[in-house]
Every structure is written in C-alpha cells, then in structure tokens.
Amino acid sequence: MKVLIVDDDPELRAILREHLEAHGAEVLESGNGLECLLQVKRARPEAILLDLNMPRLGGVEALRHIRKFDPAIRVIVLTASIDDGEHEQARRHGARDVFAKPYDLEELRLALMTPGPANAVTRA
C-alpha cells in the first residue's frame, strides 16, 4: 500500500514512516497541505495520514481538495486538538477516522490498512 504522511513535524513523519515501512507500506511524505495535494496528483497514494494544523494549507482544506480529486483515497486525520468540532468537521469532509495525539501506532496502522467505508470514530 502506498501511504502519504502529511505533517509539519519531521520527527513525527519519521516515526510514522519507520513503523509503516516495517509493515510493508511504501511511504511518501509532505510537510504541508500544498505539498500534499501535489503528491496526491503525482503519486496517487491509496491512503493518507493527515495532520489538521499545518502551515500554508491546513488539513481540513487539504481534505476538501483530496476528496474532489479522488474520493476513494483513505484519509485518517491526526491531530493534537481535543476540539470535537474540528474532529467532526474532518469527518464531514471525508476523514475515515480521527486520531488524537498521542495515538497507538499499531492501532493507527490497522485503521489505515483496513478496507471498507469510513467508520468516523474519534480515537484518543
């Protein structure tokens, strides 16, 4: 599976990359929402781990564009925010899941790899 990690924290991207690659995923990275959209168009990932709060283009706005481009891409939102309104907004725009930081890497990987419709679960 080709997975795009979108987060402005390079250390977090490295941790996620290491974990996903150890389980056979091909991993791409972007540091903001604009880079994410370029990667989506060029590389056509099957799944995206998307931070909500980023410079240049935030996660919700990036999610809107991703959905217009390819509604089949699995998007899981990662956020430090505990604001249920932000979580709900991400789900309304097509996030399969919302994981509040810190999260369990294995639980995140399993949610990312599981096929099927969005289950709109917020995980703490």
SS3 string, the chain, reads CEEEEECCCHHHHHHHHHHHHHCCCEEEEECCHHHHHHHHHHHCCCEEEEECCCCCCCHHHHHHHHHHHCCCCEEEEEECCCCHHHHHHHHHCCCCEEEECCCCHHHHHHHHHCCCCCCCEEEC
pLDDT at 55 over 90: no
- Is residue 121 one of the residues assigned to a domain? no
Assess if residue 14 is contained within a domain.
yes
Query: Per the domain annotation, does 122 fall within a domain?
Result: no
Mean pLDDT along residues 71-96: 89
Domain count, the chain: 1
- What CATH number should be reported for the domain holding residue 76? 3.40.50.2300
pLDDT of residue 116: 61
Give the position of tokens 């991703």.
66
The rounded percent of the chain whose pLDDT value lies above 70 is 93
Residue 123 lies in a domain: no
Does residue 96 form part of some domain?
A: yes
Give a yes or no: residue 46 inside a domain. Answer: yes
Owning domain of residue 65: 2-116
pLDDT grade, residue 40 (50/70/90)? very high
**51 vs 113: which has the higher pLDDT:** 51
Whole-number mean pLDDT of the chain?
88
What is the rounded distance in angstroms from the CA atom of residue 15 to the CA atom of residue 101?
13
Distance of alpha carbon 70 from its chain centroid, rounded? 14
Q: How far apart are CA 88 and CA 116, in angstroms?
A: 20
Q: Which of 1-5, 67-71, 82-86 has the highest mean pLDDT?
A: 1-5
pLDDT of residue 54: 83
pTM of the model: 0.89
**Is residue 79 in a domain?**
yes
Instruction: Confirm whether 35 is domain-assigned.
Output: yes
